Chains A and B, each alone.
Chain A
């Protein structure tokens, strides 16, 4: 079974631009979560989508948004990029996303650099 895939793997943008990152979950998984990983803040939860609905949201500004499509693929968007948005953005998928015995599997991440 193929793992979680994320595209693109690397991105370079300038301040003020916007960016869209994509995540394809493991086949059959319906929950997709997004995380931001930085050296200073570590791994921080952004949001989770399940059945095209945002179910949980972390403590990030409204510039960070996402969506999920009917095939469970997800995108996250960051508008008006700031230097501090430079990070590795990780996507994780799980079958049901309802906690319990659900386990998240991570993709390789998208490395975003904001200049």
Chain B
């Protein structure tokens, strides 16, 4: 069955710490990969996406993610987090030719000032 796993339910960091959020998927075939962020009281926003090409993709606000096909992973990273990065982060996967997107359970990130 198709599934998306986010290993960390809640991550707490201090400002300036480095961040890595894990995402693994179980999907047959070619996939598109996404990270979305949901700030408190706001709607889901796209952070970054991977369709093809360079497996290291850069998104908004200094975030990046690396697609490792052999590990079925798409981990999100940021070298130095800020208090304003406090939010819930969702990894999402879909088959390349349709819009049935499957989301991970989300990781809540709390950044302490």
Q: Is the CB of B96 within 8 A of A99?
A: yes
Interface size class of A (residues with CB under 8 A): 20 to 34
For the complex, is B51 an interface residue (Cβ under 8 Å from A)?
yes
In A97-112, which residues have CB < 8 Å from any B CB?
A: 97-109
Chain B residues within CB distance 8 Å of chain A: 32, 34, 36, 42-46, 49, 51, 90, 92, 94-106
Q: Which of A31, A45, A58, A100 contacts B97 (CB 8 A)?
A: A100
What's the Cα separation between A90 and B98 when bound, in Å? 18
Residues of A contacting B100 with CB < 8 Å? 45, 48, 56, 58
Q: Which of B32, B95, B105 contacts A42 (CB 8 A)?
A: B105
Given contacts A42-B104, A99-B94, contact A105 B99 (CB under 8 A): no
Q: Is the CB of A31 within 8 A of B99?
A: yes
Whose C-beta in chain B lies nearest to the C-beta of A45? B100
Q: 9 more A-B contacts (CB under 8 A) besides A42-B103, A48-B99, A100-B97?
A: A42-B90, A43-B92, A55-B98, A55-B99, A56-B100, A101-B51, A105-B46, A106-B36, A106-B44
What's the Cα separation between A104 and B51 when bound, in Å? 13
**Interface SS, A side:** strand
Q: Which of B34, B44, B95, B96 contacts A90 (CB 8 A)?
A: B44
Q: Which of A43, A97, A101 contacts B103 (CB 8 A)?
A: A43
Residues of B contacting A33 with CB < 8 Å? 99, 101
